[in-house]
Each structure stands twice: as C-alpha cells, then as structure tokens.
C-alpha cells in the first residue's frame, strides 16, 4: 500500500523529471519539491490562515472571557471554544494538516532517493521493479548521483581547511530557523503558546539540521528547497514577519 | 495550542524513528551473497561473515571474523582463492575493506581500507598482481602482500570481476561501457559502448570474442580485434549476471524469467526461451551433461543441452547468486532462507545444507 501509493509514484515522477531535464538528479529533486509545494499550496495557505486566526483569538475579549468564566468546567469550555471557532470560521486543526502532509512526503522522498540511486545489487533489483512501463530507463540507469560537490545518496560534507564540514546541514538549520521565525506572528507578553512556539522555532531547525547531516544529502536538498519556497510563499501572501529575524526582538 | 505543539514534537520524534527504521531496513535489505569453491571447501560471503565450509559434510571449517561479525563490513563479492593460498574478500559495508585471509585457516594476511567506494566486484589475480574494480569507478592494483600499487579511473560504478586474456583486462561497467585495460601500459586501451548498464562480468570466448549481457535487454558479442559489436541478441528483460558458454552455445537468463540458448557464432536462437518459475539473475552453471540455473522463487533447474528439463529442486529462499560446482556437488546460496548454503548432487537431490548458528 505504502509502496504502491507513495514510493513508486514518487520514484517514477523523480525519474521522469530526471530524464527530461538531462540526467541531473539534484535538479530533479529541486523541481520535484517545487511540484510538491505547488500541490500543497492551498494547504499551506490554510495553515497560515489557521495560525493567524488562532493567534488573534488569544487577544480576543470574548475568548479570554470564556477561559476565565469556565476555567473549572472543561466540558463547557470546550463547547464554547467550538462555538467561537465555528462563528469565526477557524479550523483549529487547519495549521496541523500541512505539517502532517510533510511526513509521508519526507519519508517517501527519502525512500525514493535511496531506491533511485540503487547503490547495491538488491536495491538495483528492487528499483527495476518499481518502474512504470511507459518509462524507458535503459538509458538512464544508473542514475547520476553527483550534484555540485555532493553525492546525493550519501550524507554531505565539504572539506574546508582540512575539516569535513556539513555545509548542507547548516543551510537546512538556517533556512528552517528563518521559515519558522517568519511564520510566527508577534506575541503578547506572557503568552504561553507563543513561548512554546519560540522554543519550537529553535529546536525544530536543529532537529532538521540533524536529519540533513545524518541522511542522504538528496533529502537535505529537499529541505532547503522546501524551506526557501515556504519563505517565498509567506512573503507573497504578505504574512512574513521579517522583524522576527532580528535577534532580541519579540 | 499547547497540545498542538506537543503533537508536532511527537511527530518530529516519530519521523526521526521512522527514517532511522527505513535506514536500518535498507541496510538489511541490501545484503547479497558471494560463493566460490575448490575441491575441498566452499567459501561463502554472507553479510558480515565469510564461511569456509567442508564440502564432504557441510560443516564449518572456519569463519571470518573468527569471533564476532563486524557490522561495518558486508561481503557481497564472490571470494577469490589465489595460487599462493590467499582468500580475497571484498566488503560493501561502510568500512568497505578489501581483506586477504589464509584460505586454509581464515587468519588475516592484510587489509586495505582506503578505497573511495564500496566493493561489489571480486578482484582478479594476474601475474602476481591483484586487480580490484570498485564502485568508485577505479581499478585498484596491489601486489600479493597487499601493498597498494596504483588506482586508475575507468568510469561508472564497476560491479563485476574482470576477465583476462593475458594482455588485457576486460571490465564491464554500469556506465554502459566495456573497458579493455592494457596490463603492461596500466591504462585503458579501448572502450566499447554496450546497450545498457552491465553489472555482470563479460565472458571471453576461445577465439577472443567477448560476450556480455546488459540492462539494454540484449546479449552482445564484441570483436576484440575491431572493438565493435559483432552481433546482438534481444532478450525480453534485463540480463543481470554473466552468461555461460559451452562449445558454440551461449546460455543466458533474464529478469523476466526467460532462459535462452544462443548460437555464439552469429547470435541466432538455438532453443528457447524456456520459462522456469521466476526471475533469473545468476549466471548458469554449465557442465558436460547439463546446465543448472537458480530462480528468484527458490527453485533450481537442470536442463540438457537441447533445453529439456532434467530435474528441478525446490531449495527455498531466493536464488540470486550463480550456482557453483564444488567437487561433485552443485552449490546454491539462497537469500532470505534459514539455510544459506545448500548442496545438491548431480541429480538434484539435496546432500546437505548449512544453517549458521543463531
């Protein structure tokens, strides 16, 4: 099921792009990411809307009023919260959906990259069985895994002054940090959820950087492209909060 | 809001675990086995261990490493016995070492660990020099003491053992080329483009013609004098491993599960294709009386030279590797099977099987 609906279609789309753009797997991953971002554009827009709506609620008098009024009656509080969500047209889970969509994409892409680059006999045999009949891969197998200084099937590092530095992982960390900061609306003092959001915007980029450092660099390329496109999308929608990038500003 | 953030953290942790799981399973899935034999022992490379197994009863003579497997090594390539009693082992693991052990005892002679890529191909020994093709596209040369001599870049990942005619090494590459390497000049003499990636070894005929299968779904004959393709024979699926030659007949299997007999002089079909019950990867084993192949569905087949089935034997697992003759026995190294080495007699009856402890 996972193979049929996620891995095999992803692998074939990647191969199709690779074939038509002149056998560059790095460019194929970048174009594939743009495609994924385009498909999930409405979801990302919904996420931004949901985040904004939830943030505005934290300052709303009626919202604050019911928190105080029903603080000892959890059931009633939940009912009132749902009523307000409905009245304002806010989907409280709307901001989670794009994040949820990212997970199968990340895992699927990781497996597609590993399968497509097929560096061992068994992986090449499995790869040969994942191909749609309309794709003639005789000419393109084996795939060229080199892109710039990277081998996209392996974790990346660049020798600088005698040290192997994980350059891509650092870029992933920076772009992840930028993206999470730009999408965080201005917070009120004492706002606990905003404090939690700030913590997340620090921990998550390190987590993504760790993944980029540990797993094949093709995945890191996806992270970077996706982050840059995310920032561009927020900016285009006029939702990017550039002041958050200045250190010390809340 | 708080619970939502917690959910994101939990999902991040789950993603990390899932990716790690994928990575671990990919490592496990990427096992392969290599098998060779002399008149007394079979040498089986399987995962992180290499076994020397007595042919008379299937017992272990020694294993390498003797005490504990090294998780950084994974031996895919067929072990090679040299005239001076070394057994050469090539690892596709993260440490990707080329190892020489004493073929009689399994004690290490030397280890080379400075290649850029992993070793999937077996090395070959010519005139007291070891030539080892690597997935980094280079051909490495060593003396018999394991001293590194040089490495020459050919091209593409090199997955198969070269063949030699005294002056040249002929090496197939996944980059769709067959390379002729001049041993004296230590350089590429010429290349010929094949119809696709070629993970198996070429075959050298007595008249100097080379025969090779490839992912171009063809068997091709290459004239080494003119360095051109003499003829090609279209197969239904990709041809993975080496093909076999008996007299003037070539035998080849493909990934679609077809088995062919081809006239080596002109590329015409002699008989077939016959269709056993699964994908054929390993090179056929040709004896005076019959031809033996293994299939992915775990069955061994013996055909006579006219293409009639003499016997078939269900072994189990997946028979990806080529069958090997060891003394009077026919050996198979199934994957995904409890027994990793199975010995048959010439009528297809099982003589013994080897199941490692644990």
**Domain extent listing, chain A:** 2-245
Is residue B287 pLDDT above 50, yes or no? yes
Average pLDDT over residues B137-154: 98
Residue that the structure tokens 């002729």 belong to: B180
Q: Residue A203: its chain B contacts at CB < 8 A? A: 9
Q: For residue B60, give Cα distances in angstroms to B22, B68, B357.
A: 34, 15, 11
Q: Which long-range contacts (CB under 8 A, 24 or more apart) does B60-66 make?
A: B60/B354, B61/B106, B62/B105, B62/B106, B63/B106, B64/B89, B64/B99, B64/B101, B64/B106, B64/B108, B66/B106
Shortest distance, CA A235 to any CA of chain B (angstroms): 23
For residues A43 and B295, the model is more confident at B295
The tokens describing B127, both together, are 């005139």
Shortest distance, CA B132 to any CA of chain A (angstroms): 17
Which residue does chain B place closest to A111, by CA atoms?
A: B22
Share of chain A above pLDDT 90, in %: 20
Average pLDDT over residues B154-169: 96
Q: What are phi and psi of B21, to 5 degrees?
A: -60, -45
Is residue B296 pLDDT above 90, yes or no? yes
Which of B26, B118, B215 is facing A114, going by the closest CB pair?
Answer: B26
- The per-residue pLDDT for A153 is 81
The answer to whether position B346 is within a domain reads yes
The answer to whether A121 contacts B135, with C-beta atoms less than 8 Å apart, is no
The answer to whether B19 contacts A142, with C-beta atoms less than 8 Å apart, is no
> Which of A96, A108, A118, A124 best probes binding to B when mutated, by most B CB atoms within 10 angstroms?
A124
CB B292 within 8 A of CB B302: yes
Q: What is the pLDDT of residues A30-74, one digit of tens each?
A: 999 999 888 888 877 777 777 777 777 777 888 888 888 888 888
Is residue B251 pLDDT above 90, yes or no? yes
Domain span holding position B333: 276-358
The answer to whether position B319 is within a domain reads yes
The answer to whether position B343 is within a domain reads yes
A131 touches chain B (CB under 8 A): no
Q: What is the pLDDT of residues A90-107, one digit of tens each?
A: 776 655 666 667 778 878
A128 touches chain B (CB under 8 A): yes
- The per-residue pLDDT for A191 is 54
Domain count across chain B: 1
The answer to whether position B72 is within a domain reads no
The answer to whether position B338 is within a domain reads yes
Q: What are phi and psi of B239, to 5 degrees?
A: -100, 120
Which residue does chain B place closest to A107, by CA atoms?
A: B19
CB B355 within 8 A of CB B316: no
The answer to whether A121 contacts B216, with C-beta atoms less than 8 Å apart, is no
The answer to whether B12 contacts A96, with C-beta atoms less than 8 Å apart, is no
Which residue does chain B place closest to A124, by CA atoms?
A: B30
Q: For residue B355, give Cα distances in angstroms to A186, B122, B336, B340.
A: 65, 24, 12, 6
Is residue B178 pLDDT above 60, yes or no? yes
The tokens describing B63, both together, are 């294993």
Mean confidence (pLDDT) of chain B: 93
The answer to whether position B350 is within a domain reads yes
Half-sphere exposure of A156 (CA within 13 A, CB side): 27
Residue window 175-204, chain A: list those with CB within 8 Å of chain B: 192-193, 196-197, 200, 203-204
CB A177 within 8 A of CB A228: no
Is residue A119 pLDDT above 70, yes or no? yes
Interface of B with A (CB under 8 A): 1-2, 4-5, 7-9, 11-12, 14-16, 18-19, 22-23, 26, 29-32, 76, 92, 118, 120, 135, 156-157, 159, 174-175, 195-197, 199, 215-217, 238, 240, 255, 281, 320
A59 touches chain B (CB under 8 A): no
Q: What is the pLDDT of residues A164-213, one digit of tens each?
A: 889 999 999 999 888 887 766 655 555 555 566 666 777 888 888 998 89
The answer to whether position B78 is within a domain reads no
Q: What is the pLDDT of residues B208-235, one digit of tens each?
A: 999 999 999 999 999 999 999 999 999 9
The answer to whether B215 contacts A106, with C-beta atoms less than 8 Å apart, is no
- Within 10 angstroms of residue B356's Cβ, the number of other Cβ atoms is 15
Report the CATH number that the domain containing residue B339 is assigned in CATH: 2.40.128.630
The answer to whether B120 contacts A120, with C-beta atoms less than 8 Å apart, is yes
Which residue does chain B place closest to A105, by CA atoms?
A: B15
């Amino acid at each position: 099921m996972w193979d049929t609906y996620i891995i095999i279609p992803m692998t074939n789309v990647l191969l199709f792009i690779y074939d038509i753009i002149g056998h560059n797997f790095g460019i194929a991953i970048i174009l594939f990411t743009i495609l994924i971002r385009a498909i999930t554009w409405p979801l990302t827009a919904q996420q931004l809307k949901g985040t904004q709506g939830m943030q505005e609620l934290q300052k709303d008098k009626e919202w604050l009023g019911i928190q105080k009024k029903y603080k000892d009656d959890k059931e009633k509080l939940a009912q009132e919260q749902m009523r307000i969500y409905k009245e304002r047209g806010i989907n409280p889970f709307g901001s989670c959906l794009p994040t949820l969509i990212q997970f199968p994409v990340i895992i699927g892409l990781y497996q597609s990259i590993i399968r497509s680059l097929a560096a061992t006999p068994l992986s090449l045999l499995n790869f040969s069985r994942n191909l749609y009949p309309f794709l003639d891969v005789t000419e393109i197998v084996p795939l060229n895994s080199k892109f710039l200084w990277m081998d996209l099937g392996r974790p990346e590092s660049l020798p600088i002054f005698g040290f192997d530095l994980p350059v891509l992982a650092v870029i992933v960390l920076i772009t992840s940090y930028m993206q999470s900061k730009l999408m965080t609306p201005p917070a009120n003092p004492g706002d606990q959820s905003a404090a939690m959001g700030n913590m997340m915007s620090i921990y998550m980029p390190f987590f993504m950087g760790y993944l980029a450092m540990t797993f094949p660099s093709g995945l890191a390329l996806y992270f970077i492209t996706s982050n840059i496109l995310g920032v561009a999308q927020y900016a285009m929608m006029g939702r990017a909060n550039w002041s958050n990038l200045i250190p010390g500003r809340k | 809001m708080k619970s939502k953030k917690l959910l994101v953290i939990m999902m991040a942790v789950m993603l990390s675990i899932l990716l790690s799981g994928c990575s671990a399973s990919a490592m496990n899935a990427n096992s392969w086995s290599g098998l060779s034999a002399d008149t007394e022992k079979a040498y089986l490379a399987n995962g992180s261990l290499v076994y020397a197994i007595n042919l008379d009863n299937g017992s272990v003579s020694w294993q390498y490493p003797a005490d504990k497997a090294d998780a950084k090594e994974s031996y895919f390539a067929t072990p090679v016995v040299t005239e001076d009693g070394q057994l050469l082992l090539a690892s596709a693991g993260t440490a990707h070492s080329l190892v020489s052990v004493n073929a009689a005892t399994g004690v290490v002679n030397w280890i080379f660990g400075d290649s850029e890529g992993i070793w999937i191909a077996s090395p070959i020994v010519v005139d007291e020099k070891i030539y080892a093709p690597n997935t980094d596209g280079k051909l490495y040369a060593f003396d018999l003491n394991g001293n590194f001599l040089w490495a020459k870049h050919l091209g593409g990942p090199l997955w198969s053992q070269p063949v030699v005619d005294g002056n040249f090494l002929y090496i197939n590459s996944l980059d769709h080329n067959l390379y002729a390497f001049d041993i004296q000049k230590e350089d590429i003499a010429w290349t010929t483009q094949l119809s696709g990636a070629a993970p198996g070894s070429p075959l050298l005929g007595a008249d100097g013609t080379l025969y090779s299968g490839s992912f171009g779904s063809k068997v091709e004959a290459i004239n080494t004098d003119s360095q051109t393709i003499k003829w090609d024979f279209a197969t239904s699926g990709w041809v993975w491993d080496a093909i076999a030659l008996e007299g003037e007949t070539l035998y080849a299997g493909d990934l679609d599960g077809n088995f062919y007999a081809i006239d080596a002089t002109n590329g015409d079909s002699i008989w077939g294709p016959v269709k056993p019950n699964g994908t054929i990867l390993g090179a056929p084993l040709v004896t005076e009386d019959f031809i033996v192949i293994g299939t992915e569905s775990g069955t061994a087949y013996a055909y006579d030279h006219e293409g009639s089935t003499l016997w078939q034997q269900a072994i189990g697992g997946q028979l990806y590797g080529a069958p090997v003759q060891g003394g009077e026995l026919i050996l198979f190294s199934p994957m995904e099977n409890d027994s990793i080495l199975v010995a048959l007699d010439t009528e297809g009856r099982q003589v013994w099987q080897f199941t490692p402890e644990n």
